[in-house]
């Protein structure tokens, strides 16, 4: 267990008290008659759907902004069901060139609505939005007909600079800036383990929403679809020898050991028994993903690990988006003690280095990788970690 001196503890807790004011700097009023939304922060002047879990943690402090940070995606959903990957500001640009969704919009919006005590019509709107988005995925990201979700570009999963999503000439964004378009490459269509897990989680949330709205027959359909999808993932994407989920190209499994495995957990695809096998082999203390400051975006034992540790690199660095999502899945699978250890190490990095809440840290030293500041996931993670430290 990480130890702190009394002065270090006091310094951390004092700094945590400043977090709400720092978060206010990332609240952006994009319309005069609307509450603000939470920007990603740092060098990202916009709101990304892969950051939707930020709003879940924000809701405890700024509920109106947390809900607006969900509503803006529904307001900008395309007629074909596609939820924008991002809305950028000054100038305002709504981006539809990739999926870039991790924790399903349906699940997060439902959780935020619960925290914010939204009226029933908002739950009905979340449900419609989720159903339309699922329709988009089935029409445009299901060339295999398996119900699993295909990745067409590097930014689809938000794993910038990861060899997993670049090898084979995969472009940054989809052709013509439209997530419906697949590039003509030998590795396509490429079924993605984490995007498929995202759809599984969305179907589970849609079933829950349908039940709440009195649509039990529809709930049953979503549950059946989720079970079918899970069965396909186990059959096609799970390597029993490696005990790992991989992406599937026409040529076979692409065996990259990246943090995408945590997204399988985030969406509760696996039961406790299988989780324990995977976790104890790869992510438990002493295992390959559990570096001095876990979890790196790629296992250091994977040959594709990027040893140069450049900025904004999901080929190596420990990303704050990975850690803030761990706050969700680790307790679900009974890993509270390991989570406390990880958060303790995260706070130790703040004691040892000057860090203005950057996007990523060195997985071996804890040093910040860039000089960017006030990254929203870092702020929210720091506040939560300090609350656990105080407790």
Residue 199 has pLDDT above 80, yes or no: yes
SS3 382: helix
State the Cα angle at 108 between 104 and 111, rounded to 5°: 145
**DSSP string spanning 132-184?**
HHHHHHHHHS-TTSSSPPEE-SGGGTT-TT-GGGTTTT--SS-GGG-TTPPP-
Q: Are 282 and 289 in contact (CB under 8 A)?
A: yes
* pLDDT score for 71: 98
Residue 391 has pLDDT above 80, yes or no: no
Q: Are 279 and 342 in contact (CB under 8 A)?
A: no
Residue 363 has pLDDT above 80, yes or no: yes
| CATH code, residues 51-86+93-334 | 1.50.10.10
- Quickly state the pLDDT bin for 1 (edges 50, 70, 90): confident
- Quickly state the pLDDT bin for 285 (edges 50, 70, 90): very high
Residue 376 has pLDDT above 80, yes or no: yes
* DSSP character at residue 51: G
Treating both helix axes as pointing N-terminal to C-terminal, what angle do 6-17 and 336-352 enclose, rounded to 10 degrees? 90
* pLDDT score for 219: 98
Q: Which two tokens stand for residue 95?
A: 């981006």
SS3 368: strand
Average pLDDT over residues 275-291: 98
Q: Are 185 and 225 in contact (CB under 8 A)?
A: no
- Quickly state the pLDDT bin for 172 (edges 50, 70, 90): very high
Q: What is the pTM of this model?
A: 0.98
Question: For the segment 245-277, what is each residue's pLDDT rounded down to a tens digit?
Answer: 999 999 999 999 999 999 999 999 999 999 999
């Amino acid at each position: 267990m990480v130890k702190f001196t009394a002065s270090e503890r006091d310094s951390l807790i004092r700094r945590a008290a400043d977090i709400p004011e720092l978060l206010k700097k990332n609240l952006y009023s994009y319309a005069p008659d609307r509450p603000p939304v939470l920007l990603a922060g740092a060098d990202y002047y916009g709101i990304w759907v892969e950051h939707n879990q930020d709003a879940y943690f924000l809701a405890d402090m700024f509920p109106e902004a947390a809900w607006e940070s969900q509503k803006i995606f529904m307001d900008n959903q395309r007629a074909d069901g596609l939820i924008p990957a991002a809305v950028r500001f000054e100038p305002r640009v709504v981006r539809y060139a990739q999926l870039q969704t991790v924790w399903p919009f349906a699940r997060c919006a439902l959780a935020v609505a619960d925290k914010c005590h939204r009226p029933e019509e908002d739950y009905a709107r979340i449900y419609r939005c989720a159903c339309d988005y699922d329709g988009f995925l089935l029409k445009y990201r299901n060339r295999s007909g398996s119900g699993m979700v295909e990745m067409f570009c590097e930014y689809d999963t938000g794993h910038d600079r990861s060899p997993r999503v670049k090898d084979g000439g995969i472009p940054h964004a989809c052709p013509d800036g439209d997530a419906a378009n697949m590039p003509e490459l030998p590795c396509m269509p490429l079924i993605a383990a984490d995007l498929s897990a995202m759809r599984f989680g969305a179907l589970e949330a849609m079933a829950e929403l349908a039940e709440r709205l009195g649509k039990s027959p529809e709930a049953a359909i979503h549950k059946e679809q989720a079970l079918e999808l899970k069965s396909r993932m186990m059959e096609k994407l799970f390597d029993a020898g490696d005990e790992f989920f991989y992406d599937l190209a026409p040529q076979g499994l692409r065996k990259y050991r990246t943090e995408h495995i945590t997204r399988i957990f985030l969406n509760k695809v696996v039961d406790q028994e299988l989780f324990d096998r995977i976790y104890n082999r790869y992510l438990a203390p002493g295992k390959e993903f559990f570096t001095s400051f876990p979890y790196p975006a790629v296992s250091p034992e994977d040959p594709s690990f990027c040893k140069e540790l450049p900025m904004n690199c999901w080929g190596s660095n420990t990303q704050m988006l990975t850690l803030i999502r761990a706050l969700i899945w680790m307790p679900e699978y009974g890993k509270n003690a390991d989570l406390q250890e990880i958060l303790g190490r995260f706070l130790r990095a703040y004691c040892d280095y000057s860090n203005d809440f950057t996007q990523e840290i060195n997985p071996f030293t804890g040093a910040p990788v860039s000089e960017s500041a006030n990254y929203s996931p870092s702020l929210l993670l720091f506040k939560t970690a300090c609350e656990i430290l105080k407790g």
